[in-house]
Amino acid sequence: MKYVAVIGLEVHAQLLTHSKLFCGCPARFGAAPNTQVCPVCLGMPGVLPVLNGKAVEYAVMMALAVNCKINPRSVFARKNYFYPDLPKGYQISQYSEPLAEHGSIEIDVNGERKKIGITRIHMEEDAGKLLHGETMEDEAFSFVDLNRTGVPLIEIVSEPDMRSAEEAQAYLKALRDILVYLKICDGNMEEGSFRCDANVSIMPEGSSKFGTKAELKNMNSFKYVKEAIEYEIRRQIDTIESGGKVIQETRLFDASAGVTAPMRSKEEAHDYRYFPEPDLLPLYVEDKLVDKLRSELPELPRAKRERFMGEYGIPAYDAGVLTSSRELADYYEAVVRNTGEPKISSNWVMGELLRYLNEEGKTVSECQVSPESISDLIKMIKSSAISGKMAKEVFEDMYRTGKPPAAIVKEKGITQISDEKELKGIIEEVIKANPENLARYKAGKDKLFGFFVGETMKATRGQANPQLVNNLLKELLAK
């Protein structure tokens, strides 16, 4: 029997507002524990939440970017449960009337385009964080850090439209790219500002009736999401093949063991007793605001990628890499404007520049090489002032020092010998010094052409214009 996997994702994204969702505390990550708290986010009795308007705008932006319908009226609801990181005893979320619904995005997997439905996007507050065994002496201690309580989140719930771990990963990446392009979430999975729960089930191939799903939690990288889903699909197939039944439960991914293990079953599942939050009015989002935000949306990753392929004629791979961030895309476009050479510019930005940046884990905004400098370098190659090989050396210095290429070329005394007469003289010397190889070449050993190129380059300490060397050698060896 063959099986098909069915996957739906629930994604939480922290919004990059200055303050929290219902109070004025900073929402910034990484402060000393419990230094960004106040009576509202600590859940003291009698305090009142005040909704952060910026968080609403950010949530609407994301909803628009993934083609959702914005509900003119949505309602905050209390989701009741007890946990040490939730001092109020409930989380303010949205339930039966979310902010937005009925969206979709497109993903590409193995060269095929696929549409993934987005069921809903709602707003909610984050809970605090528990740090287990963080003392030097005793692992039995747990600590509560409430800096995160009340940080604004959106939850993006997908339709069960994905059929493989690759599709789930591509969907997740697409969502994160959009959030980061919109500058409303930093997308950092390790720090937990972008988190994902995966619902996974299997059914026999050809069936249209979904199987029982398990929900996977605790995956804090794209790699783990893929590994956890792949493991879970195999586990469910094995369970059914050996005569068992998949039960509805929540499972945790253990990254070091590469397995998922039960956390709680449906019987222990929470009954959250949702009810409308009495301290907040329903949220009315006016058409005027929606229209304004829609008109201000930046060009999104997918549209940019397709435009790069069409406008610049570069391969899909290049376009994908170059649009991986807005800053990199802007950088590349600045270089193309200067050089008028889309593919060569792509080779330099994607090849050399990114290689150096990736080695140091840096982004293009932290880089000393300006688009003008790299453009100048490309122009120097085009005009044969320096060879491609020299340019790579010059580039390394540009990268380390931030100096423009002309200054480095001058400093290093790099010039390319493009003078025909001068080169001719040098090549004649080289030929004269190697009579045996000349004879063998003339007798048909064509491979020796490379030997003469090498000798000429050696004689000029690599400064000869390679194209010219080729042409002259052909001419002189044929004599």
Residue 199 binding result from Zn ion, ligand ADP, none, given CB thresholds of 5 to 8 Å by partner type: ligand ADP
Residue 10 binding result from Zn ion, ligand ADP, none, given CB thresholds of 5 to 8 Å by partner type: ligand ADP
For the bound state, the minimum distance from the C-beta of residue 56 to ligand ADP, rounded and expressed in Å, comes to: 23
**CB neighbours of residue 358 within 10 Å:** 10
Give the residues across from 117 on adjacent strands. Answer: 104
Closest by CA to 9, choosing from 125, 153, 129, 173, is: 173
Considering only residues 210, 275, 284, 317, which one is a binding residue for ligand ADP as defined by CB under 6 A? 210
Q: Is 398 in the site for Zn ion (CB under 5 A)?
A: no
Q: Is 195 in the site for ligand ADP (CB under 6 A)?
A: no
Residue 159 binding result from ligand ADP, Zn ion, none, given CB thresholds of 5 to 8 Å by partner type: ligand ADP
For 388, list phi and psi in degrees, rounded to 5. -60, -35
The C-alpha atoms of residue 155 and residue 186 are separated, in whole angstroms, by 15
Residue span binding Zn ion (CB under 5 A) among the ranges 8-16, 32-40, 290-298, 409-417:
32-40
Residue 158 binding result from ligand ADP, Zn ion, none, given CB thresholds of 5 to 8 Å by partner type: ligand ADP
Closest by CA to 416, choosing from 435, 389, 436, 437, is: 389
The C-alpha atoms of residue 216 and residue 254 are separated, in whole angstroms, by 10
Give whole-number Cα distances, 30 to 27, 33, 191, 338, in Å. 10, 8, 9, 41
DSSP 347: I
> Which residue in the shown chain puts its C-beta closest to ligand ADP?
8
Q: Is 66 in the site for ligand ADP (CB under 6 A)?
A: no
Q: Report residue 246 CA to chain centroid gap.
A: 33
Q: Is 25 in the site for Zn ion (CB under 5 A)?
A: yes
Considering only residues 78, 213, 304, 326, which one is a binding residue for ligand ADP as defined by CB under 6 A? 213
Q: Is 38 in the site for Zn ion (CB under 5 A)?
A: yes
Strands (E), 33-75: 69-70, 73-74
For the bound state, the minimum distance from the C-beta of residue 10 to ligand ADP, rounded and expressed in Å, comes to: 5
DSSP 47: -
Q: Is 94 in the site for ligand ADP (CB under 6 A)?
A: no
The C-alpha atoms of residue 197 and residue 219 are separated, in whole angstroms, by 8
Closest by CA to 332, choosing from 356, 361, 312, is: 312
Binders of ligand ADP among residues 154 to 193 (CB under 6 A) are: 157-160
Q: Is 398 in the site for ligand ADP (CB under 6 A)?
A: no
The residues binding Zn ion (CB under 5 A) are: 23, 25, 38, 40-41
The residues binding ligand ADP (CB under 6 A) are: 6-10, 157-160, 199-201, 210, 213
